Amino acid sequence: ELVVQFQVLNQSCQCLAWKPRPVGVWPCPGESQHVVAGYSDGTVRVFSVSRTEMELKMHPHAAALTAITYSTDGEMILSGGKDGTVAISSPRTGMTIHVLADHKGSPITVLQCTRKQYHDFGVEGGELWLATSSDRRVSVWASDWLQDKCELLDWLSFPAPAGPEGLDNLPPSLAMFCPWEHGVLVYVGFGLQKEALFYSLRKKQVLRKISLPAFATSLSLSPAAPFMAMGFGDRLLRLQPCPTGDPQDYAGHDDTVHFCRFAPSGRRLLTASHSAVLVWELTGA
């Protein structure tokens, strides 16, 4: 059942994210749920689902948006553009606080935030976040939003063979923090080998690799169990137990599996291809 619909005339919605609920806070009747969306004209819009209205419009980018997320406490919006810039904006004030150009020239493919302790990596900040761009680069940052601090923690660049194709024809570069392995991120993308890489932020090195049947087109890590889901260009969805175990492959899509996402409970998985959206129940996870 379609509950509510927001329309923006003459603009394409390129990415969106739900506002996270604060830890330990249960939903109350009438609580406002918010969605932030990034558009082709470089604007960011915040919508209230409960009030069915747009609450805020910002314009932090000169190019189309390609990735967007909230900070873990919902107090900041991180957005990435087709030109590689990353903007950090406050939904309370509507002001853009930082614009980072470290990935400039290559579209941002992933933005993700995770909580951390101040002493975890010897830098100040209550939150860790990463940005990934199409040119196989990943930057990891430590931030303290209240103190207006944003510090680069690590910079990764993954090699790949030279090819005549443009970036648009290559598999996407995707990175995510590992929920079940502290201080580790998982990376998939076009490279010398078809594999998923587990990189330790503490040791500054790749801990292990998992071979893949092809270059992945989508990636999600379960928040509840050591499983990762990956989509591929040949209509294949793979559920991979970690760190070892036999993968399970599933058909059912009509095209490239370009999106997969575990539910917060880890018991369901949402996947999408050209004209199909599938919901999977993970009975054994």
Note the pLDDT of residue 164. 54
**Residue 125 predicted with pLDDT over 90:** no
The model's pLDDT over 170-218, given as tens digits with 9 standing for 90+, comes to 899 999 999 999 899 999 999 999 999 999 999 999 999 999 999 999 9
Note the pLDDT of residue 231. 96
**Residue 77 predicted with pLDDT over 60:** yes
Closest CA to 128 of 137, 136, 138: 138
CA 279/CA 271 separation, integer angstroms: 6
- Percent pLDDT > 70 in the chain is 92
Note the pLDDT of residue 23. 63
The reported pTM is 0.92
Q: Are 210 and 192 in contact (CB under 8 A)?
A: no
CA 37/CA 218 separation, integer angstroms: 20
CA 40/CA 164 separation, integer angstroms: 27
The model's pLDDT over 227-273, given as tens digits with 9 standing for 90+, comes to 999 999 989 999 999 988 899 999 888 899 999 999 988 999 999 99
Note the pLDDT of residue 216. 96
Confidence label for 24 from pLDDT (cuts 50, 70 and 90): low
Note the pLDDT of residue 148. 84
